[in-house]
Amino acid sequence: MKGVGYTEPAAYTSGLVVLIYPPHRRFRPLTPLHPTAYSTVRQQLIMASRWLVISAATSATAFAATSPVPQDAPLVNPVGAEDAQDPKPKKQQIVVTAQKQGAEAIKDVPRSVTAIGQKQIRDAGLTSIKDAARFVPNALVTGFSARRLSFPYVRGVGSGQGDPAVATFVDGVPQLSVSSTNLSFAGLDRVEILRGPSSVLWGRNTIGGAINMISRKPSWDPGGEFQTSFGNYNSTRYQVRATGPVTDETLAMSVDASYEKRDGYTDNVATGNDVGDAESTFARMQFLWAPNENNTVHFSIYGEASRDGGFVLSNVSDQPGQPGLRSNPFRINQDFEGSTERDILAGSIVWNHYGNDFEFVSITSAQMWDIDESADFDFSQLDGVRRFTSEEEEYAYQELRLQSATDADLDAGRKDGMKWLVGTSGFISNQKREATNEFRPGGAGIFFAPAQVGSDRSAGSFDSWSASVFGQATMILQSGFEAAVAVRYDYESRDAEINRTFSGFAIGNSSGDRSFERILPRASIAYRGSEDFKSYFSAARGFKAGGFNLTAPTGSESFGTETSWTYELGAKTQWFDDRLTANAAIFLIDWDDMQLSQFDPTAGGFVSNAGKSTSQGVELELAGQISKAWTVFGTAGYLDTEFGRASDQNGSVRGNNLPFAPKMTFGAGTQYSHKLDNGHDIFARIDWFHVGEFSYDASGAATERYNLTNLRVGYTLKDVRLEGFVGNLLDEEYVGIAFDANPDPAAASYVGQNGTPRTFGLSMSVTF
């Protein structure tokens, strides 16, 4: 951004950290966007996203053909090991934007944060939130093969139905539903994963944490990238980026796009087909306008069209006459295969005004998405029950913040000082949901009585709006102490109208409205013993509003608020002239009225309040530079979770572990990079992850554990990079997600889906 002295930031990641050289304080990493008006979801999304793919490819070619294109700012490591001319490591800053006040050293943030940057995303071959979460202790993202459902769990806090408990953000804009959690990583600069309640600054659905996906911003230096990969299961992936100035001084733009497709991993015995295939088209266009030194406006719009196969579900354990996934993996036996389609269109406008003593931020955004899916609901070769689901949502979000300037006294290294932030935010949402169970003649007398043949349809409209005010102040005290206090008042109103019919005849109508409000405090105190050591203690209240189920057993049509208190004690350290970073934390979570995901064989999934629960544990993160060429990382997490006075639809679950809360999580890996003559580089990387025992639901009747090993090797010649990769190197067979399709305790009829088998392939990228 030549007009304001902007220089493109350089980003680094090794293991679990990201290094960023902060740009000029008047241009910080921006949060997103505001879309143009539109009338329909699907057709406009598909047309727009495919047009943007073509536009990106054309733009990249044009840039390459018309101008000498410098590369983006180089990626460096935390100790300057890539600088062969400087044998002594340089101290660098690991920074994040987790506290919404500009680039901040991660070691100065008094809470647990993991940042995964552009270099690590590339070197580890990360393509989804599920991939990134493996580098975070006590984190697990589970989901089905279809992109539309993905469920993040952090420290045992998560949700399989309803609103997420660990919300995803795109450039600071919240994704209100789990249906829009799993988005393409195309054009991503980094991912910041906050552990613990984040409601004060980040708002709703962050009782367990927040995941912020931060895109690469437009650059005034023209450039482009093209990436492609091919692998087994006929997998293909194309990704393109083009960026450059629209005007020399004030306006820059970028386009990122991707297309990916693969065959399914699973054989359907009934039809002979491969099932669980996936296809996705994604594109994002951004403009960055800097009319003067005191203002920047960032506009972004993105869309994605996913066309995936249906849910690949089968019995987990052997049943009479039918082997299960444990003994016969990647096999299902279904007469109906179904499909899952998801379309998303979203945009935002972010205005930043920079004064000498304060900054003002406005985030205006809107999003629309819709889903159509169909599935075999008896999970067998019999033509018994089919499930058809349709959902759509339109929402708008606004956030306004007034805060101290980025280069305020606190950032200038004084012994005393304060930085502050006050703001307000709110959203309005309209969601329509429809679910139909089609009871077919082939199941009469087996799954249900003959008189029940027909279509049981529930359709509902769910409207909600929210308003909140929040503030935070951070003060530097004497003798190395620092104190921070924050508070948020949040009000949310929801109403629902639900109609139920059977083969066209009305059998029930219901409606309701509820409001939820909470005051959410957070406080922390930290002590800096030296530049390389900081310890902290924090306490925060978390909050997740209640709501309404579309379908549920009688008495469970709505559910109430979930609240928690989280206490955390941690330390962030650097050793051996910053060659080793070691962060550790212990925590305790105590919450009431946990919202528990359950399953009814007739209604399907629903949410109810379970009661009291606790989670406590330990986390450790390590990242080290052994030499100029050799880096290592390690993570470890231990969880002890327990239901207190709690129950599910079958009775008390007191003393059981929380679902999808592994007892232990481990990660370890190393990467070796070596510079050859004449611009040639080689590298090799191996990562290993262990997910300890976890249960699929509150009953604890079925559990899983598994290990994953990933390998990548590569060769670089100036702007061309070639790689070979193997995922799940040892071909571990596991069932990553399952639920009890018949919650009768005597039935134990869990259905689930196998995790991804061994995959391998080759990739190539070219930077212009």
Q: Where are the domains of the chain?
A: 2-767
Q: Which of 160, 140, 99 is nearest to 540 (CA)?
A: 99
Could you state, in chain order, the average pLDDT of each consecutive group of 10 residues for the chain (768 residues)? 36 32 33 36 40 36 32 29 35 71 82 92 93 95 86 89 87 85 90 92 90 93 95 97 92 97 94 94 96 94 94 87 88 92 95 92 95 91 92 95 73 63 96 93 84 91 95 88 95 93 87 91 93 94 88 81 94 92 96 83 78 93 93 96 84 90 96 87 96 92 95 93 97 93 67 95 95
Q: Which residue has the tokens 């169909």?
A: 374
β-bridge pairing 580-592 and 595-600: unpaired
Task: Please calculate the CA angle 629-122-274 and round it to the nearest 5 degrees.
Answer: 130
CA distance 570 to 730: 35
pLDDT of residue 407: 59
Q: In the numeric block, which tokens belong to residue 556?
A: 């469970």
Which residues are within 8 A (CB) of 502 and not within 5 positions of it... i.e. 6 or more apart? 454, 455, 456, 457
Bridge-partner residues for 105, per DSSP?
95
| Burial class (CB within 10 angstroms; exposed 0-12, middle 13-18, buried 19+) of 2 | middle
Identify the pLDDT of residue 35.
Answer: 36
In CATH terms, 2-767 corresponds, of 3.30.1330.10, 2.40.170.20, 2.40.10.340, 3.30.2290.10, to 2.40.170.20
Q: What is the pLDDT of residue 749?
A: 82
CB contact at 8 A, 556 and 565: no
User: For residues 619, 625, 631 and 636, what is the CA-based torsion angle, rounded to 10 degrees?
Assistant: -10
Note the pLDDT of residue 437: 92
Q: Identify the three-state secondary structure at position 655.
A: coil
**Cα 648 from Cα 336, distance rounded (Å):** 31
258's tokens: 């991707």
Helix, coil or strand: residue 445: coil
Q: Are the CB atoms for 756 and 729 separated by under 8 Å? A: no
Structure tokens at 183: 């988005």
Residues 6+ apart with CB under 8 A from 61: 224
With residues binned 3-state (H G I as helix, E B as strand, rest as coil), the percentages for the chain, rounded to 5, are 10, 60, 35
Query: Taking Cα atoms as reference points, which of 512, 618, 527 lies closest to residue 557?
Result: 512
Provide the greatest CA pair distance for the chain.
Answer: 82
At residue 743, the pLDDT reads 61
What's the pLDDT score for residue 65?
Answer: 33
- pLDDT for the residue numbered 60: 35
pLDDT value of position 746 = 54
